[in-house]
Structure 1
Amino acid sequence: MRTMGLDVGSVTVGVAISDELGWTAQGIETITINERAKQFGYDRVKELAAEYDVNKIVVGWPKNMNNTVGERAEASEKYAEVLESRTGIPVVLWDERLTTAAAERTLLEADVSRKKRKKVIDKLAAVMILQSYLDSNN
């Protein structure tokens, strides 16, 4: 059984998956979503969860720096709630403050071009969210 990590944004959802022992996270995909068209990628997440035999999903929870819940965190809460009802898989919210900034820094340090960074940043943020969750539970 594996754990899936998601970095939910307004345009994409970064997806990461754990190894079977739950020690390491690997990025697998970035799903394009469209909030206006109400296409949030739930079906693709469900497909990936079935493919990888996922038993838990961790959704990044972008709380404000003062620990309050803002608009994006509320959107993540709603996403997690709908995802759990659609998949039947338990969903955990995980504090993701600064993960996108850390992912950006990592990619800059690796001298990844802006165009390539845009394609992988959400997937890398999902890896960081999931790895943080795995590390806290091991």
Structure 2
Amino acid sequence: MEKNCNNITLLAFDYGTKNIGVAVGQSIIRIAHTLKVIKNKKSGIINWIILNNLINEWNPKKIIVGLPLQMDGSQQYITVLTKKFAYYIKKKFNINVELHDERLSTVEAKYILFKYGGWKKLKKKNINSLSASIILQSWFEKNK
């Protein structure tokens, strides 16, 4: 994390082949907020136009991408796809991208949504965007 007093905006992504959850936060207040879910055009085909608009709107200085690992820390197929997603963001937008362990973020998001809204809140868009927020909040905690 930047150790100076500059406030920077960060975006966080919870990548999935169908949906990408998005959250935003500022380094000075260190609180993540859910934004939205980007629906991919087809399974695994990213909607770069929406992503481009989002990046232009928020102008982040850093992007955090949740890294899906197995509970034992090993990689899975979605881990490889997520790394490619992070690589393309860095190359396309020339923004610093950091991968951050996202283990159990979806479980935590489902728990929170169910606790405060019951079954009707357990929709993919709610889960994905809250997962992105949990990933970013976890990144803030780790990078004090």
TM (norm. structure 1) is 0.90
- The answer to whether the Cα contact below 8 Å between 1:58 and 1:93 also exists between their aligned partners in 2 is yes
Offset at residue 75 of structure 1 (A): 0.7
Offset at residue 22 of structure 1 (A): 5.0
Aligned-pair identity in percent equals 28
- Indicate how the Cα distance of structure 1 residues 20 and 65 shifts in structure 2: closer, same or farther if over 3 A, else same: closer
Offset at residue 69 of structure 1 (A): 1.1
1:31 aligns with 2:31: no
For 1:102 and 1:58, the matched residues in 2 are separated by 18
Alpha-carbon deviations, 1:50-101, whole Å to 9, x = none? 2112000000100111111110111100110111111110111110001001
Name the counterpart of 1:12. 19
For 1:62 and 1:88, the matched residues in 2 are separated by 23
Unaligned runs of 5+ in 2: 1-7
- The answer to whether the Cα contact below 8 Å between 2:12 and 2:24 also exists between their aligned partners in 1 is yes
Alpha-carbon deviations, 1:80-135, whole Å to 9, x = none? 01111111101111100010011001111113334653331100000000110111
- Indicate how the Cα distance of structure 1 residues 67 and 24 shifts in structure 2: closer, same or farther if over 3 A, else same: same
Alignment of structure 1 residues 92-107 onto 2, 5 Å:
92-107=98-113
For 2:35 and 2:80, the matched residues in 1 are separated by 25
Name the counterpart of 2:61. 55
Compute the RMSD of aligned alpha carbons. 1.7
